[in-house]
Amino acid sequence: MTIEKNKVKTQDELNEKAPIDQVEDRVEAKMKKLEGNAKQRVAEGLQNKELAQEADRLKKEGDDELRQARDK
Per-residue pLDDT tens over the stretch 3-25 = 888 888 888 888 887 888 778 88
CA distance 14 to 58: 32
Q: Tell me, what's the pLDDT at 59?
A: 94
Q: Tell me, what's the pLDDT at 37?
A: 94
In this prediction, residues 13-42 reach a mean pLDDT of: 89
Cα–Cα distance list, 1 to 4, 8, 53, 59 (Å)? 10, 14, 60, 50
